[in-house]
Structure 1
């Protein structure tokens, strides 16, 4: 009974949005800690100083999602956009 007073159905979308935001932040944090070439967690890596490893940096910045969307138009629904904007259809 007390639980229905604190958690109402109206706040479920807020919980979902906050969960997605926290998930994205957590993913980016883990990604940076694990594979970012500029982040060094262990002592040996920190003692190495500044490394000029351009190939590793290029590999990190050119990830699969960036390669996938590079030559695509920035549209969410291209078929609907072309239907309403193309006079030939």
Structure 2
């Protein structure tokens, strides 16, 4: 049996996929905060002001569409399975 000289072994693919996903989440979060967060001040004029009057912009940032969608949902990932296993079973 000849030795395989692969640069990346197939066993490493799940780890690469997980790390790519996490790195993508980090890039998304950092980009969102830099571009949309009202507390981040990039230009010099905003940095010069001590207090920004942007309460409306802050509310818009914190109450985004995903949070509004999840607001009235139960705080469970799989409520039907949780209810199935937590309710008393009739024998």
TM-score normalized by the length of structure 2: 0.81
SS at structure 2 position matched to 1:7: coil
Aligned equivalent of 1:70: 71
Q: Give 5+ residue unaligned stretches, structure 2.
A: none
Could you list the structure 1 runs, at least 4 aligned residues long, displaced by more than 4 angstroms after superposition: none
Q: Say how many residue pairs are matched.
A: 87
Larger radius of gyration: 2
Aligned-pair CA distance for 1:88: 7.3
Aligned-pair CA distance for 1:85: 2.6
8 Å CA contact retained: 2:36, 2:61: yes
More helix by share: 1
d(CA) in 1 for partners of 2:18, 2:51? 39
Q: Give 5+ residue unaligned stretches, structure 1.
A: none
Q: Deviations over 1:19-60 (max 9, x none)?
A: 111011100100001010011112222223321321111111
